[in-house]
Amino acid sequence: MRAVICAGLFPGLCSVVNKEKSITLKTMEDGQVLLYSNFVNAGVPKIPYPWLVFNEKVKVNSVFLRDSTGVSDSVLLLFGGNIERGGLDGHLKMLGGYLDFFMKPTLGDMYLSLKRELEELIQNKLLDPKLDIQFHNELLMAIRLLVSEDQCEGRFVFGRQLPASSKKAEKAKNVAGDGGGNSKNELQTLLARAGHQAPTYKTKQLKNNQFRSTVFFNGLDFVGQPCSSKKLAEKDAAAAALLWLKGETHSYSRNTDSSVLLKKSKTINQNRIPVRDDLPVLKWQLKGNTYFTAPLDS
Query: Does pLDDT of 279 surpass 50?
Result: no
Range of the domain at 213: 166-275
- 172/236 Cα distance (integer angstroms): 9
Statement to judge: residues 91 and 219 lie in one domain: no
Statement to judge: residues 237 and 97 lie in one domain: no
Q: How far apart are the first and last CA of the chain?
A: 31
Statement to judge: residues 30 and 86 lie in one domain: yes
Is residue 161 very low, low, confident or very high in pLDDT (cuts 50, 70, 90)?
Answer: very low
Statement to judge: residues 153 and 232 lie in one domain: no
Number of domains comprising the chain = 2
State which H helix or E strand residue 2 sits in: helix 2-9
**Nearest-10 crossing angle of helices 105-127, 137-149:** 130
- 166/200 Cα distance (integer angstroms): 26
Statement to judge: residues 265 and 174 lie in one domain: yes
Q: Beta-carbon neighbour count of residue 48 at 10 Å?
A: 11
Statement to judge: residues 30 and 70 lie in one domain: yes
Residues above pLDDT 70, as percent of the chain: 71
Q: What is the pLDDT of residues 265-276, one digit of tens each?
A: 433 333 333 333
Statement to judge: residues 127 and 185 lie in one domain: no
User: Which amino acid makes up residue 232?
Assistant: L
Q: What is the pLDDT of residues 72-81, one digit of tens each?
A: 888 888 888 8
Statement to judge: residues 70 and 199 lie in one domain: no
- 285/143 Cα distance (integer angstroms): 22
- What's the average model confidence in pLDDT over 144-165? 59
User: Which amino acid makes up residue 223?
Assistant: V
Q: Beta-carbon neighbour count of residue 294 at 10 Å?
A: 26
Identify the bridge partners of residue 222 per DSSP, sorted by sequence position. Answer: 215
Statement to judge: residues 130 and 96 lie in one domain: yes
237 phi and psi, to 5 degrees? Answer: -65, -40
Query: Does pLDDT of 297 surpass 60?
Result: no
Statement to judge: residues 222 and 150 lie in one domain: no
CATH number at residue 188: 3.30.160.20
Statement to judge: residues 18 and 94 lie in one domain: yes
Whether the Cβ atoms of residue 226 and residue 213 lie closer than 8 Å to each other: no
102 phi and psi, to 5 degrees? Answer: -115, 130
Lay out the sheet containing 200-205: strands in order across.
Answer: 200-205, 211-217, 220-223
Of 47 and 97, the structure prediction assigns the larger pLDDT to 47
Statement to judge: residues 213 and 295 lie in one domain: no
